Amino acid sequence: MYERPEAFLPERWLGPNAKACETALSAFSKGPRACFGVNLAYAELHLGIANVFRRFDLRLDEAR
């Protein structure tokens, strides 16, 4: 499928063939071989985002 599969070339997903590459990109997989830690990973993401909002005083730009 790829010209040099062992090389790290992130620009593969930026060119005109980007839509064809999306089938190979699956963060947690699907089906019987799916990642069993997906719920933990999403929980950690939610906690991380919540910490950003809890620790920092975020405000909208009032100049506009």
What's the average model confidence in pLDDT over 13-33?
76
| Radius of gyration, alpha carbons of the chain | 19
The 10s digit of each residue's pLDDT in 34-45 is: 888 889 999 999
What's the average model confidence in pLDDT over 12-18?
79
pTM (2 d.p.):
0.49
What are the residue boundaries of the structural domains of the chain, listed by start?
A: 10-55
Say how far apart CA 52 and CA 54 lie, in whole Å: 5
| Mean per-residue pLDDT of the chain | 83
